Amino acid sequence: MAAFPHTPLPRQGRPRDEVMRSLVALKQGDQDWRGGRVFSLVYSAGDDVHELVSDALSLYSAENGLNVLAFPSIGTMQHDIICNTASLLGADDPRSGGAVEGYLTSGGTESLLQAVKTARDVARQDRGIAHPQVVAAESAHAAFTKAADYFDVELIRVPVGPDFRVDAHALADACTDDTIMVVGSAPTYPHGVVDPIADIAALALERGILCHVDACMGGFLLPFLAQLGRLDEPFDFRVPGVTSISADVHKYGYASKGVSVILYRTHELARKQVFVTTDWLGGFYASTAMAGTRPAGPVAAAWAVLMHLGLEGYLELTRTAHDAALALRAGIEAIPGLAVRGDPRATVMAFGAVDPAALDIFAVGEVLAGQGWYLDRQNRPDSLHATVHAGSAATVPALVTDLRRAVTQVGHRRAASRDTTYGTSS
């Protein structure tokens, strides 16, 4: 808490206009994502969509997502979001089994937490496993480590190959009789590559265990890339053996923060996530997510954006973002001394020095930051990370130009800090 200044609670409340002026002043030090120079954290589909999101958030600012009997409109919107997401991810295909069900969560981290907890509970109840293990690549999201810590599950991480994808044989070698679930990412966050989901799911089928696909980043991206003929990489419920998928609406669904979807192949598996109790004096209590009280505003905003954009809108946003990502990748690869990590097929990528001894990519990042660009830092190996979205597409040519200059400017200078930047807090 010491990293931020403290504003004491006033004895007498301040006027509304004064408070709003203070909020505006506080934001002056934040990244200006509206300018398109922020390649992380924010996904923008333009001012029109942001205005719609703001209106929907305001309309549902007081309602409580805990109880859809009191607020049935929230239940309707949740059902629409879940069903539409499921359709995007193959639920309507005969190969899915036709029984896909799911729930909304507050974000990708919570969706992954729920996937691990559900797998743990299934293993305990159905297989009697007391010390469950989840096997995942070292590229799988940090939320899997958090889930393992929260739910007393052992997470076994497997190294990725030179292409930054995990090999299904390596996952198989790490499995034991206590393994309850294997994980694949579509795409991985660090490098934007798609793991071999079909092979990973086949492994799960062979061993009789669950297979979760982390499509938090790609759930509202890969299906549209496939429809555009730009991707042929099976990853969803059309793949036998995939038992659950997570997809964030607040990423490439371009909704406001706070809405992700966790889907399960069967009704029986989905019901394992629900918490139900009468063990208190308040009566029957049931919850499908970690939180009890949940803000309804993000649900309304997500529903509004889905209805506003529609399939054609998402296809156009995906085309815009992917064209820009291809241009960024080509621009990076044309700069001597730089290389893209792996073969990112979508709109997320990491890049760094071909020879780290000759060029410090974090020093390059410092130069770019001084020019208003925001890209995450990663290590193992040191890289800059770019999430290209529709709102940043127009700035890609300028980023490539500044990146080339920064590489020349840095020379053999070393960065002031080795710190990485994804998911930091005070």
Per-residue confidence at 318, pLDDT binned at 50, 70, 90? very high
pLDDT tens for each residue of 34-78 = 888 888 999 999 999 999 999 999 999 999 988 888 999 999 999
DSSP letter for 152, please: T
Residues in Cβ contact with 175 at an 8 Å cutoff, skipping those fewer than 6 apart: 133, 135, 182, 203, 207, 209
Q: What radius of gyration, in Å, describes the C-alpha atoms of the chain?
A: 22
CA dist 331 → 317, 325, 386 (Å): 21, 10, 13
Higher pLDDT: 266 or 293? It is 266
Amino acid residing at 175: C
pLDDT tens for each residue of 67-114 = 888 999 999 999 999 999 999 999 999 888 889 999 999 999 999 999
Question: What is the distance between the alpha carbons of residues 384 and 366, in angstroms, rounded to a whole number?
Answer: 11
pLDDT tens for each residue of 126-183 = 999 999 999 999 999 999 999 999 999 999 999 999 999 999 999 999 999 999 999 9
Question: What is the distance between the alpha carbons of residues 112 and 149, in angstroms, rounded to a whole number?
Answer: 13
SS3 39: coil
SS3 90: coil
Residues in Cβ contact with 94 at an 8 Å cutoff, skipping those fewer than 6 apart: none
Phi-psi region for residue 298, left (φ > 0), alpha (ψ -120 to 50) or beta? alpha
Burial of 419 (0-12, 13-18, 19+ CB in 10 A): exposed
Q: Are strands 210-214 and 376-378 parallel, antiparallel or unpaired?
A: unpaired
